[in-house]
A and B are shown apart, each in its own frame.
Chain A
Amino acid sequence: DQQVKQNSPSLSVQEGRISILNCDYTNSMFDYFLWYKKYPAEGPTFLISISSIKDKNEDGRFTVFLNKSAKHLSLHIVPSQPGDSAVYFCAAINTNAGKSTFGDGTTLTVKP
């Protein structure tokens, strides 16, 4: 049972445009959500998070939206830059349990 799903394995966007990465989850016990960015040969790097009590969190060019009723979250990057090209993982946590459950990742390519 895949509790966190990222249905798009890849996304290609032109520099300066918006990148939208999507994530769906099934476990209603998840109450904290994170996006990590991963470059080849490096570990995941924390990008932005959102608590289930919010529906939006913004940090510079990055905004995460949470739709609890749809069990869906998305990461918006605007404007996209070539340096944003990486694999983006969505992760969900039940804060009573503690571990992170990761999605499969979406490879974002931002073209100059």
Chain B
Amino acid sequence: EPEVTQTPSHQVTQMGQEVILRCVPISNHLYFYWYRQILGQKVEFLVSFYNNEISEKSEIFDDQFSVERPDGSNFTLKIRSTKLEDSAMYFCASRLGRESRDQPQHFGDGTRLSIL
């Protein structure tokens, strides 16, 4: 069964450094998402992406964050100048079409980002 893959599984970065988290969504999916989960807290929506542009973003997704689909397969999340509070699990998800009854989001296994 096709799956969403994320790399790396664990990223350790110094505060203030830029980090890029990578995702390969399921190949025929059209909608892409990033979520994060701070340790012990709920899964929080960051951003959704469709047709090469952001369709929705949360308050968390400020100017330090950006997303890109540089080619036909990768979907990346960049944090320009990391802060300690960016430490979290970051989940990528993809979905075939517009949210509907039979098309749930499929999640990757996440990248654990640790900011030192």
Contact A102 B109 (CB under 8 A): no
In the assembled complex, B27 has its CB within 8 A of some CB on chain A: no
Please give, as numbers and ranges, the residues of chain B lying within 8 Å of A32 by CB-CB distance.
99-101
Contact A89 B55 (CB under 8 A): no
Contact A98 B98 (CB under 8 A): yes
Measured between alpha carbons, how far is A101 from B45 in the docked complex, in Å? 7
Contact A43 B110 (CB under 8 A): yes
Measured between alpha carbons, how far is A80 from B22 in the docked complex, in Å? 36
Identify the closest chain B residue to A97 (Cβ). Answer: B56
Please give, as numbers and ranges, the residues of chain A lying within 8 Å of B35 by CB-CB distance.
100, 102
Contact B42 A43 (CB under 8 A): no
Contact of A95 among B6, B44, B98, B105 (CB under 8 A): B98
In the assembled complex, B75 has its CB within 8 A of some CB on chain A: no
In the assembled complex, A14 has its CB within 8 A of some CB on chain B: no
Residue interface mask B19-63, A partner, CB < 8 A = 1: 000000000000101010000011111001000000110100000
Please give, as numbers and ranges, the residues of chain A lying within 8 Å of B91 by CB-CB distance.
43-44
Measured between alpha carbons, how far is A84 from B45 in the docked complex, in Å? 25
Identify the closest chain B residue to A2 (Cβ). Answer: B42
Measured between alpha carbons, how far is A43 from B25 in the docked complex, in Å? 13
Using a CB–CB distance below 8 Å, which chain B residues touch chain A?
4, 6, 31, 33, 35, 41-45, 48, 55-56, 58, 91, 93, 98-101, 104-110
Which 6 pairs, one residue from A and one from B, show the smallest C-beta to C-beta distance? A43-B107, A46-B104, A102-B43, A95-B99, A104-B42, A43-B109
Using a CB–CB distance below 8 Å, which chain A residues touch chain B?
32, 34, 36, 41-46, 49, 51, 89, 93, 95, 97-105
